[in-house]
């Protein structure tokens, strides 16, 4: 491990001069020295120790991102947006997967805090349980108290700036679409019941049901885990349990795709399916999936912009509307 001192010695200058040359400080330096130092850097294959740098100039630069799972396309899209604006700003982004476990999320908040990140962006559903939310918020506040910035995507219970997709309105859109097509017997494949996203989307659906005078009994709400396979399994159960159902509203596209698969294996061609999120795959399944679009990449970009922007007294909140995208998987009853 060549150190700055090695380079300086090699070039016959002080570490101060070497540091100034390497970092392109504003202080003027003779060209002869500059050349010597740069040559020493190349020869020794010197790479500065980022930890020492961070410690010495105590200003934060990296940003941390906590998502449920980057390999889930939903978060992949959001992350893409986050990365774009972060790297455009020359920042290292550290991505952490919480896998929907509050404890892991807690751990990562502290870890990012320890790593002196400038900001933490948390994307993905929050936790309905107030105790859990409070615990998270507590750690977040501790981070904020040290001057860190916070931005959240899609959860409203925390301190800091927020970008909020309107899940409730999106749920309403999904319900309205199905009900105006004449479906009265619908089943819902929801996500885990402890997530706010599930609750919000469901609420929108119920609002729509109320408006259109349709009843949406508890037993018609099946909880899966937001994965494709979970959706397939639940859809199969719906098909078995409730033969009168004519449409399934899945609360995300992965589960909707699973539902389509269940329909395919059962040979059933009469049940309509609507998804949520409008992920790229929606175009490529057959029938192509009607869905409620959330501008995921944009969500990420805006959240990162908030996180990197100047701090403001009162947290900024941006709302983002959902939008219905009609394709071939829904039809009149």
Instruction: List the one residue from 92, 134, 317, 326 that touches its own copies (CB under 8 A).
Output: 92
Rounded to whole angstroms, the Cα distance separating 51 from 49 reads 5
Is 145 a binder of DNA (CB under 7 A)?
A: no
The answer to whether 291 and 275 have CB atoms below 8 angstroms apart is yes
- Decide whether 69 or 318 has the Cβ nearer to its own copies: 69
Tell me the two tokens of residue 167.
């899940």
Is 17 a binder of DNA (CB under 7 A)?
A: yes
Is 51 a binder of its own copies (CB under 8 A)?
A: yes
Task: Give the residue from 254, 255, 191, 250 showing the smallest Cα distance to 223.
Answer: 191
- Decide whether 22 or 248 has the Cβ nearer to DNA: 22
Q: Near DNA by CB under 7 A, which window of 15-23, 123-131, 197-205, 206-214?
A: 15-23
Is 79 a binder of its own copies (CB under 8 A)?
A: yes
Q: Which residues, other chains included, contact 61 with Cβ-Cβ below 8 Å and sequence gap of 6+?
A: 54, 90, 91, 92, 118
Sign of CA dihedral 66, 69, 71, 76: negative
What is the contact mask toward DNA in residues 47 to 86, using x (rule: CB under 7 A)?
Answer: -xx--xx-xxxx----------------------------
Cβ-count burial of 178 within 10 angstroms (0-12 exposed, 13-18 middle, 19+ buried)?
buried
Q: Which residues, other chains included, contact 7 with Cβ-Cβ below 8 Å and sequence gap of 6+?
A: 18, 22, 37, 40, 41, 44, 46
Is 35 a binder of DNA (CB under 7 A)?
A: no
CB atoms closer than 10 angstroms to residue 51: 10
> Which stretches of the chain bind DNA, using CB under 7 A?
1, 3-5, 12-17, 19-20, 22-23, 25, 27-30, 32-33, 46, 48-49, 52-53, 55-58
> Which stretches of the chain bind its own copies, using CB under 8 A?
1, 45, 47-55, 70-71, 73, 76-77, 79-80, 83, 92, 94-95, 97, 110-111, 113-116, 142-143, 145-147, 228, 257, 260-261, 280-281, 283-286
């Amino acid at each position: 491990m060549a150190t700055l001192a090695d380079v300086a010695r090699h070039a016959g200058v002080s570490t101060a001069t070497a540091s100034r040359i390497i970092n392109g400080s504003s202080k003027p330096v003779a060209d002869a020295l500059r050349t010597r130092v740069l040559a020493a850097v190349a020869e020794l294959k010197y790479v500065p120790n980022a930890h020492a740098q961070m410690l010495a100039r105590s200003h934060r630069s990296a940003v941390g991102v906590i998502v449920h799972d980057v390999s889930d396309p939903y978060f992949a899209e959001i992350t893409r947006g986050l990365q774009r604006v972060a790297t455009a700003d020359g920042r290292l982004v550290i991505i952490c997967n919480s896998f929907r476990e509050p404890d892991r999320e807690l751990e990562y908040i502290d870890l990012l805090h320890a790593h002196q990140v400038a900001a933490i962006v948390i994307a993905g559903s929050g936790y309905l349980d107030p105790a859990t939310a409070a615990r998270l918020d507590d750690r977040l506040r501790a981070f904020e108290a040290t001057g860190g910035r916070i931005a959240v995507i899609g959860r409203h219970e925390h301190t800091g700036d927020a970008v909020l997709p309107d899940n409730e309105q999106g749920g309403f859109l999904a319900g309205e679409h199905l009900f105006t097509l004449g479906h009265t017997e619908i089943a819902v494949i929801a996500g885990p019941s402890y997530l706010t996203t599930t609750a919000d989307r469901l609420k929108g659906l119920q609002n729509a049901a109320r408006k259109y005078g349709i009843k949406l009994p508890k037993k018609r709400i099946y909880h899966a885990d937001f994965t494709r396979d979970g959706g397939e399994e639940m859809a199969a159960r719906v098909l078995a349990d409730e033969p009168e159902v004519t449409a399934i509203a899945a609360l995300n596209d992965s589960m909707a795709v699973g539902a389509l698969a269940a329909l395919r294996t059962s040979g059933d061609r009469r049940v309509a399916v609507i998804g949520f999120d409008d992920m790229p795959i929606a175009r490529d399944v057959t029938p192509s999936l009607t869905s409620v679009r959330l501008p995921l990449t944009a969500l990420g970009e805006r959240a990162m912009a908030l996180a990197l922007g100047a701090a403001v007294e009162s947290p900024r909140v941006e709302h983002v509307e959902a939008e219905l995208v009609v394709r071939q998987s829904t039809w009149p009853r």
